[in-house]
Chains A and B, each alone.
Chain A
């Protein structure tokens, strides 16, 4: 019986992990190219969630269509913030960029609150579910997972098969060298930041397909913290690493829950979180480049 539950939880974890992973890709991309940690990460996910909610309830638009819309919106937002604020912080000590990205997150929160109020919102997109016997998987969660995988694949193609993508990789390797080769490094920075934010906002859509309730301006904080753990798991600078990190994280989070629940007198969810943060520390110490081979 416990084994059944374990497997059931692991399946749910894998599906959840795909979405988490995709949500973290933007964070790793921005760090990889610009060496900036986007502490306002969660706020952008929140923006994506609200876009989905609004498109669904006001325009009756299917969340699947919300994904590209959110992505484009996110890119625009990213470019806006890049040219107004982030550009000047490329060479600054990380403290400055940490604080600025955090403030951007707060600004987004407050603006969304002004527009939508602090009410907790949700939407109900009915598409049925699959009964796997040991667990029940709603179709929306499956779509979210498939969507995440698709986007990860697209990103892979982008980096390896297009000129812009290759340019980005060059800048990650050696920004001075890239400049010498004639690559417009400033442009690459802008594009990367825009792309990273676009990915993050789009992931907000997928996340609501997974959890379509509880949408409110302050929902981002918890996701930022999770994203950090996942990014480290996969290697802070690697977007694909982030995706796999997400899968691993989803498995650990749901799998360890079953095991911790067996211990009497403890709060299994909290211990799971504790466990995941311990893993974060272990990896930082032993393999800071993450679980995958160094890129």
Chain B
């Protein structure tokens, strides 16, 4: 495949994100909504790298976001007193987040990736909950009291910048993360990794028999997906919200949201998470405005209907329709 053709699918992705950015900056009052939508899209993109491409359901996914948040939060609180580091501390925070999520995912991977299907799902829940109770039980990282650090953030960056960070720059960073995740997804899909993962998603035993090193590719996808989750946690949670409480950052409902977003859009597709994130985020938002208190009542049956009738997601259905046309190579 020609280079250009190979990477053409990134165009709709970039267009979508740029459009979001423009809408957010342009229309009044939309930026915070766009920020939330972006959070969901990025979450979906990251989750898709592992779940979408391998078909394994990591039910404890939010744990990676959680440790990423802690990485950033701990860096901010421990380094706040060092004068003159300024933005550098935030950058160190990102590295800490990456480090924590890589370590956790390697640990989890070593244990859980040997299992399949429902066993894998439950094992990952085990890790998620286990880790959360470890923090609360052994009272590490300030235990269940969590960390509140607006004051330290103000100390590091100065009040104005810290405020700007929380309401604007953090979201810009999330844009970056989302685009980065999309590019990675495409790179994986177009490379050996993609072939291996598709093979193992279809039939893992057959893939093994064919000589594909299934474990190696699973780990690559798993760690990538987890690291991006860590970055999202560090940004959308630690930088945007000046506190960390263990029960909140290990809450399973974020994993469920990630699953919904990926499935809604189309698991394993490039555009799926974006479409899913937008549909999910917008529906939730407007439902909470129009029918406060009843969103879940409406959402739950809708999700059931969608999963049963459109299991391949919006993008999956769309791709079926445009098969054989020129559009096909732009929409993955």
Contacts and interface: CB of A to CB of B under 8 A. Distances in A.
A68 B173 CA distance: 56
A85 B126 CA distance: 28
Contact of B143 (A267, A274, A284, A285): A267
Interface string B148-179: 00000000000000000000000000000000
B57 A95 contact: yes
Interface stretch (B13-21, B113-121, B183-191): B113-121
A88 B309 CA distance: 9
Contacts of B115: 284-285, 288
A274 B130 contact: yes
Contacts of B267: 95
A176 interface: no
Nearest to B130: A277
B307 to A, nearest CB: 5
Given A94-B57, A285-B114, A288-B119, A99 B303 contact: yes
A270 B311 CA distance: 38
B254 to A, nearest CB: 13
B193 interface: no
A104 interface: yes
Q: Is the interface of B mostly helix, strand, loop or mixed?
A: helix
A277 B300 contact: no
Interface stretch (B84-92, B133-141, B213-221, B226-234): B133-141
Interface residues of B, number: 44
A265 B55 CA distance: 42
A3 interface: no
Contact of B304 (A98, A104, A109, A272): A104
Given A95-B267, A99-B263, A114 B122 contact: no
B299 to A, nearest CB: 8
Interface residues of A, number: 48
A266 B126 contact: no
Contact of A225 (B112, B125, B260): B125
5 contacts: A37-B122, A99-B256, A100-B307, A274-B134, A285-B115
The 4 closest A-B pairs by CB, nearest first: A270-B137, A277-B130, A271-B137, A274-B133
Interface of A: 31, 35, 37, 85, 88-89, 92-96, 98-100, 102-104, 106-107, 109-111, 114, 221, 225, 228-229, 231-232, 236, 260, 265-274, 277-278, 280-281, 284-285, 288
Interface of B: 51, 55, 57, 59, 111-112, 114-115, 117-119, 121-123, 125-127, 129-130, 133-134, 136-139, 143-144, 252, 256, 259-260, 263, 267, 294, 296-297, 299-301, 303-304, 307-308, 311
